[in-house]
Amino acid sequence: MSTSIPTRAVRTFCREATRAAHRWRAPALVLLLATAAGAHAEQVVLAPVRDNTIFSDSLNGSNARGDIFVGRNAGASRRRGLLAFDLSAIPAGAKIDSVSLRMTVQDARAGTFAVALHRLTRDWGEGTSSGAGPGGGQPGTATPNDATWQFNFFNSSSWSAPGGDFVAGPSASSAVASSGSPTWSGAGMVADVQAWHDGAAGNFGWILSGEENISSSVRSFASREDGAAGPRLTIDYTAGQPNTAATAESPAAGSVQSGVGLIRGWACEAQQVSIAIDGSDRIPIAWGTSRADTQGVCGDANNGYGMVIAWGLLGSGTHRLQTFVDDAPIGDVEFEVVTIGSEFETGLSGEYVLEDFPAPGDAVRVTWSEADQNFIVTGVDTGEGFAGVGENFVDTSPDGRFPAAEQQVGGAMHESPAQHTVQSGVGLIRGWACAAQQVSIAIDGGAPILIAYGTSREDTRGVCGNANTGYGMVIAWGLLGNGVHHLQTFIDGVEIANVEFEVISIGSEFETGLAGEYRLPGFPGTEDSVDIRWSEPDQNFLIVRFNDASPQGAIPPGENAWDY
């Protein structure tokens, strides 16, 4: 049964503004995971990811594929070697304890000469050049992106000073004979690697320079092309404690849930976030959505998790939700679900005006949203009347989807926000993709934003062959501002949807300290009514009681309809 008659809601109260508005902030919901085991020492041995030799007698000469040459030859020409290493194998937060570099001498005249390592301050490249002569000791013709004496990337970018941009003071020095495997180590190299690892300095590697004032002091070393004989960087480090801060945000303990809602929160570090409802098997939730508000705690922003759920599927009554991050519990709450009939109601409509909200003399319009299975704010009247909704849409596409692109990525669908809908409060950008490496969105043509992917969606198993296909991102629509907006969705860089929607908010980006409860007569049936309450976490109204007019749904004599 449905009703579409606009009517004035029966107002019950809009006072005691802090009575329930902050209930969701209960301390029990803001938890830290148990401290991990103590820090421990680890070691990694790395081969260079690129190396090269540059020559002072050939501004555009290079040797990317041969030996690494360092020092001054008999003709007074200088050679310098460049090395760079990928440090991604070292975990975030690690403390670098020691660093040593081993190289193998390939050829050199008799004698011992010092070879120093200097930290490079500018990036450089390795092309495909090959030097002339034994081991490539004479400059070869540079290829695109090769480092040379003049160019850090041939033929597009030059060093600030010929011969390379590097710190004047050496990070380490070693006496190199005419054979053997010399090593470099010391506090300077530790400081370099720590700075690279922490992001305090660009990881451009080292440049090796010999005794360039002494003729015939050149040493040649095996390069990365020489396999096991090539340079090896050994790093000892102590793994830092993982950042185990995490918060289960919604549903809050003691809250009332209805319609389609969100299970959400954040965790600084996680391999997997999962939930269990009423003691069920755990269900994985996608983690890694952008949450800029966690940057200060976590050191990065991709920490959000979220899962859309039709609360009606659980049935009316009290339920329990447990949340786990990598098997460690971070939340255990009880909440109540209120339904108005079936698990998912279709064909209903209703629109009401709520007096004296958000402030005395104001009014808001709420409209039944089938997608949300709840009432959402669709208008605000602060004395000038309600503005029209949907009058400024210009996109003529019926749904904003690109079917060919959906098939190209192996099956996918953007679901919410839907084309030409109204959004308010806190909602979810959501959909599914059968197989994705990365899901991202762009709002109003902005930079791409990563969305967590991999939430359980059993309804896609028949199409995808698996259920961990859902993606979602929690968003406070008010942050976008009132008006029409556009959302593009990308699966592995392929755009599958571009939808147009309108945002309506009741004031600031996120309202605090409000409270209000109203009875909406004639919904969902003409003799029924529902009670709705302002929910600060949702920035919208939620149904908190269904007053069923049928005999089995009547309130027992002597019971107060507001005693929940």
Q: For residue 143, what pLDDT is reported?
A: 96
- 470, 525, 80, 76: which is closest to 306 by C-alpha? 470
CA-to-CA distance for 452 and 379, rounded, in angstroms? 31
Q: For residue 316, what pLDDT is reported?
A: 92
Q: Which has more confidence, 563 or 141? A: 141
CA-to-CA distance for 154 and 127, rounded, in angstroms? 9
Within the chain, all domains assigned CATH 2.60.40.10 are found at 20-33+243-337, 390-503
Q: Tell me the residue length of the chain.
A: 564
User: 361 falls in which pLDDT band (50, 70, 90)?
Assistant: very high
Average pLDDT for residues 61-81, to the nearest whole number?
95
* pLDDT tens-place string over residues 128-139: 999 998 878 899
Average pLDDT for residues 224-233, to the nearest whole number?
96
User: 266 falls in which pLDDT band (50, 70, 90)?
Assistant: very high
User: 239 falls in which pLDDT band (50, 70, 90)?
Assistant: confident
Instruction: Report residue 236 as tokens.
Output: 């000892």
Matching CATH number, 390-503, of 3.40.220.10, 2.60.40.10, 1.10.3720.10, 3.20.20.70: 2.60.40.10
Q: For residue 428, what pLDDT is reported?
A: 84
Q: For residue 387, what pLDDT is reported?
A: 84
CA-to-CA distance for 216 and 453, rounded, in angstroms? 60
Query: What is the radius of gyration, based on Cα positions, of the chain?
Result: 32
For the chain, give the percent of residues with pLDDT over 90: 70
CA-to-CA distance for 125 and 280, rounded, in angstroms? 54
* pLDDT tens-place string over residues 428-477: 899 999 999 999 999 999 989 988 888 888 899 999 999 999 998 888 89
pLDDT(262) > 90? no
Q: For residue 13, what pLDDT is reported?
A: 31
Instruction: Report residue 461 as tokens.
Output: 């198993």
pTM: 0.56
Instruction: Report residue 208 as tokens.
Output: 């090796």
* pLDDT tens-place string over residues 201-222: 999 999 999 999 999 999 999 9
297 close to 275: Cβ distance less than 8 angstroms: no
Q: For residue 21, what pLDDT is reported?
A: 30
CATH architecture, domain defined by 20-33+243-337: Sandwich (2.60)
Positions of E strands within 181-301: 183-185, 206-209, 219-221, 232-238, 245-250, 256-257, 260-267, 273-277, 283-285, 287-290
Instruction: Report residue 158 as tokens.
Output: 């030059």
